[in-house]
Amino acid sequence: MANRSNSPQRIVIIGATSGIAEHCARRWAQQGASHLTLVARSEDKLALIAQDLRVRRPALHIDCQTGDFTDPAAIQLLVDNITREGSPDIVLIAHGTLPDQSLCQQNLAINADALMINGMSPVLFAEAFITHMVATGQGTLAVIGSVAGDRGRKSNYVYGAAKGLVMRYVQGLQHRLAGSPVKVVLVKPGPTDTAMTAHLKHQGAKLASVEDVANSIVQGIQAGKPTVYAPAKWALIMMIIRHLPRFVFNRMNI
Ligand SMILES: NC(=O)c1ccc[n+]([C@@H]2O[C@H](COP(=O)([O-])OP(=O)(O)OC[C@H]3O[C@@H](n4cnc5c(N)ncnc54)[C@H](OP(=O)(O)O)[C@@H]3O)[C@@H](O)[C@H]2O)c1
């Protein structure tokens, strides 16, 4: 597809080996982005994704970077290095894990890891990028939370709490930047068909296609929506879940 002048040019993806992020990258490549910075912990996985994107769009400039996503100093260094190369039009923060809730209850180290990678790590990336975006007065920061952050549930409240932290943090950034040209978008996918949910798929769970979810995310970011439920039906479902009275909610096995 031809390069369109109104399409975002410089895009940074943190957690670029995520299934959802990879499909967003394909969409942006197709739309005519000129420069992608892909960031993840695994150099080998990143190289495969970059190779695939280059085949899809040979003119795309792709830069791959790795780092420790759990160390605040390493996060700061990564973000400083990336932003020194140029001011991003879009930053997507996508990494996460779906921890086993019962293991998190039994083992505080597993619990702490889950809270770190799903909660603290994305918000530290967000804070570091926002500093640069505010300084340059442009760009859209998108952070992937989850519908699980909308209400604590017994089946996944450690993950839900971390995603709730992300939601509250993004809300604060949005308040801070109200009226600024810098936009902040919170993405809340519902259950989506990626490596993260492979075990649920085998149990017969109904999952959205990763292509559809990625399209909704890319469109939502383009529109600068404060919150993007993907697929959109989850906005209604979660509004109902959030408002269910406790005596009804407590009888639900979710
Ligand atoms: N799939 C769903 O149903 C669903 C629903 C709601 C929200 N989400 C959220 O959507 C985002 C993307 O998820 P996905 O479904 O695309 O998952 P995925 O394909 O399993 O990808 C997870 C990503 O997180 C990275 N990651 C995990 N632990 C890490 C660590 N300690 N350090 C650095 N990177 C780490 C993985 O890196 P490696 O490739 O190196 O493992 C990978 O890039 C996540 O924030 C997830 O919570 C997903």
Mean pLDDT value across residues 35-44? 98
- Average pLDDT on 138-165 reads 98
Beta carbons within 8 Å of 220's beta carbon, 6+ residues apart: 142, 185, 187, 228, 230
Protein residue with least CA distance to atom 47, ligand 1 = 96
> Ligand 1 mean position to 129 CA, how many Å?
19
Q: Which pLDDT score, from 0 to 100, does residue 7 have?
A: 67
Q: What is the pLDDT of residues 76-100, one digit of tens each?
A: 999 999 999 889 999 999 999 999 9
Percent of the chain beyond pLDDT 70? 97
% residues pLDDT > 90 (the chain): 96
Which atom of ligand 1 lies nearest, measured to the CA of 116? 31
pTM value is 0.97
Q: Count other C-beta atoms under 10 Å from residue 62's C-beta.
A: 18
**What is the Cα Rg of the chain in Å?**
18
Best substitution site from 18, 48, 163 to test ligand 1's pocket, by max atoms within 8 Å of Cβ? 18
Residues 111-140: b if buried by 16+ CB within 10 A, e if exposed: bebbbbbbbbbbbbbbbbbbebbbeeeebb
Give helix 210-223 / helix 19-31 axis angle, nearest 10°. Answer: 60
Domain ranges of the chain: 10-249
Model pLDDT, residue 60: 96
Closest CA relative to residue 142, chosen from 161, 160, 129: 129
Separation CA 111–CA 100 (nearest Å): 9
CA angle 228, 230, 236 (to 5 degrees): 80
Using alpha carbons, select from 88, 85, 27, 82 the residue that is nearest to residue 53.
27
DSSP character string of 194-220: SGGGHHHHHTT---B-HHHHHHHHHHH
pLDDT in tens, 184-240: 999 999 999 999 999 999 999 999 999 999 999 999 999 999 999 999 999 999 999
Average pLDDT of the chain? 96
Q: How far is the CA of 16 from the centre of ligand 1 (A)?
A: 9
How confident is the model over 121-147, as a mean pLDDT? Answer: 98
Q: How many residues does the chain have?
A: 254
Q: Is ligand 1 within 6 A of the CB of residue 191?
A: yes
Place of tokens 């970011």: 221
Q: Is the pLDDT of residue 2 over 60?
A: no
Give the mean pLDDT of 244-249. Answer: 96
Ligand 1 nearest-atom number relative to CA 122: 45
Measured from the CB, is residue 69 less than 6 Å from ligand 1?
A: yes
Nearest CA owner, ligand 1 atom 31 = 117
Does the beta carbon of 107 sit less than 6 angstroms from any atom of ligand 1? Answer: no
Secondary structure of residue 23 in the 3-state scheme: helix
- How close is the Cα of 20 to the center of ligand 1, in Å? 8
What is the Cβ-side half-sphere exposure of residue 192, based on CA atoms within 13 angstroms? 30
pLDDT of the residue at 4: 46
Residue type, position 27, single letter: R
pLDDT surpassing 90 at residue 44: yes
Q: What is the mean pLDDT of residues 106-130?
A: 98
For residue 66, give the nearest of 91, 38, 87, 90 by alpha carbon. 38
Cis ω before 231 (30° cut-off from 0): yes
Q: Other CB atoms closer than 10 Å to residue 250's CB: what's the count?
A: 9
Q: Which CATH number fits domain 10-249: 3.60.21.10, 3.40.50.720, 1.10.760.10, 3.40.30.10?
A: 3.40.50.720
Question: From CA 107, how far away is CA 112, in angstroms rounded?
Answer: 9
